[in-house]
Chains A and B, each alone.
Chain A
């Protein structure tokens, strides 16, 4: 491959973010479930839930560590790989970036305290309360950093006069039109993903034939919220569709291979497209795109051909959109089956096939997160700052990006292998049954 600093910078950024969001998503969601388990444990004086909180927290430290170091990496890479972009956008987005760091600081302090004060307070509720700043800190940092990304999609709060940025309104820039749908989608999908990841662990043990009530409680405390959060994710996703139709029609049009502006637009599922914009093999759902865009079958949806060719996102984003939505629906279905069975047919709720589905639901939701982010990011190409700056103008001119790409690639492989190995080692020989027995329960 010929050396191309922009391309390599894009690949390196994708790689770092792609790796980071796996850990960041878990970092945002899991504290919520640790808090839930600990609260249930204290409320019902139930050692099983308390042990769940402890074990989840233990594994969580590993994911936090990798999340922190990869987050530091992407934070610095923003300036290293996109110096011209940061020079310009730095004047507009530094407020949320700064606040994100504060939220992270806050979380880091209380997480440190939380992890080292088990059994230290006479009143166990104080220890539970320490999780509140952790949950607030992690969710707020996700919120702030997402507003930065939202700004890149819908920049506002400034004017450009003779190439200079003037009339800056930091709050208007921060609370741009993409913020409500984007941050809501990021937060609920992070809670959802963490819920499925934790449920997957319980399902793994149940499939291995372990029958302890501990695992059943673990499944219940994660899958019921998973149902709520996955439905919420889908609802916010629908709102995101309406947002795109209004503010980023080219992204929606590329996602749906919708070329001509028209009403009564159908939604396309799967299929293939050729260079002449002929779609074959797709499943057409009549009116669905118009309904997604504006709640009415007659809503006119702007087509991709309205945009100059050099301002269109690549057409393959359609597949990413399909995968994201399909996985989302599948996850809702899995959680729903569990919820229905537990209410009406509890004798089948630990059915082997359902447990297998729950086992893969964790990894599937992580895939959905990755695919969703790639869709959102590639869908705004060729822009780095939509309407203002193209990606190619923001990148570094350094001749060493290729070498760094390899170095970071090796780093992420090492971190990935290391974290899996350590997490396995932590839990494989140390079963909850034994731990409960050791604690006298």
Chain B
């Protein structure tokens, strides 16, 4: 495998990691706030808090890891995306900052502050929407590239059916992934009431998530026909992804094996996102930047790969410990510790 391909694969894995842990986090925040509005906070709050408290910081690092990595492996992305995305990414940063800190303020400091909980819940759904702009822009067609620099054509972005369909997909996916995970978690905690509630959410958001995905296909077909054509070559992956989805909702519907159901949801997104990534190859930013012309020098790439492997040797046992203590420890999950 070439270093370029290795680099982008590593980053892709971290982006997928963020997609999952971030979705759980954002969706959980939204459900927590929503349950407050509907007077069901007592059902959901504790279970969500118990999961999020030890891991929220780690979730954030997945994102940092991705953007530090992409600038490291592909410094030219800093130029193109950095120049163009000042406004949308700054909005994401501000939302993330409000959400992260007010989560901590609410959890560790002031108990039951309505404002904090509102900010936490609302930013949770706005962040995925603002972050997906980066993916949308990578399809090309939204940037004015001249000698004086790279500028985002905000009008084109806001009037594009493609960009709105991606936003929609990200929103419903966040809610679906999160609800599927929380169903599993609540079941582990033997918290029947919470389990029932989030199971309903998961089933409720399942159909919209598939509908939104189909919408994205259609919008992409007119926005970037070349990419769409490559995606149809990989249609078998999308079909397997759909099978995973059907398995997940069947299990959720029959109230069986929530662990497998959530794994199936992860597989569903893994395959769809992988197929999306493969068909995007070799472009980082269509059609001006490929992974080959945007790549860093070979020496640095080799050092980065070594640092990456060394880092993983340190991280994987640590992450395992974290999961073992808080996710797969039935006493902790049930709130006995």
Contacts and interface: CB of A to CB of B under 8 A. Distances in A.
Say which size band chain A's interface belongs to.
Answer: 35 or more
Interface string A55-76: 0001001101110111111011
A97 B296 CA distance: 14
Contacts of B197: none
A193 B90 CA distance: 31
A72 B105 contact: no
A134 to B, nearest CB: 11
A98 B304 contact: yes
Given A75-B67, A398-B86, A411-B94, A86 B79 contact: yes
The B interface is mostly helix, strand or loop, or mixed, namely helix
Interface stretch (A101-109, A198-206, A272-280): A101-109
B314 A102 contact: yes
B89 interface: yes
B67 A112 contact: no
Contacts of A91: 75, 296-297, 300
Contact of A98 (B308, B314, B326): B308
Contacts of A419: 101, 105
Interface string B303-337: 11001100100110011011001100000000001
B94 A407 contact: yes
A133 B60 contact: no
B72 A97 contact: yes
Given A79-B81, A80-B86, A400-B87, A65 B104 contact: yes
A58 B105 CA distance: 11
B63 interface: yes
Contacts of B299: 168-170
Interface in B85-128: 85-87, 89-90, 93-94, 96-98, 100-105, 108-110
B224 to A, nearest CB: 24
B71 A411 contact: no
A169 to B, nearest CB: 7
A213 interface: no
B308 A113 contact: no
Interface in A385-427: 396-401, 403-404, 407-408, 411, 414-415, 418-419, 421-423, 425-426
Contact of A90 (B98, B103, B296): B296
A398 B151 contact: yes
21 contacts: A65-B103, A69-B96, A77-B93, A81-B82, A91-B75, A92-B300, A94-B296, A95-B304, A101-B61, A115-B54, A116-B326, A133-B318, A168-B300, A169-B299, A396-B82, A397-B83, A398-B87, A401-B86, A411-B97, A421-B110, A426-B108
Given A83-B78, A112-B54, A170-B299, 5 more contacts: A72-B63, A78-B78, A168-B299, A397-B83, A398-B87
The 4 A-B pairs with the shortest beta carbon distances in the complex, nearest first, are: A90-B75, A94-B72, A65-B104, A422-B109
Interface of A: 58, 61-62, 64-66, 68-73, 75-84, 86-88, 90-92, 94-95, 97-102, 104-106, 108-113, 115-117, 120, 133, 165, 168-171, 396-401, 403-404, 407-408, 411, 414-415, 418-419, 421-423, 425-426
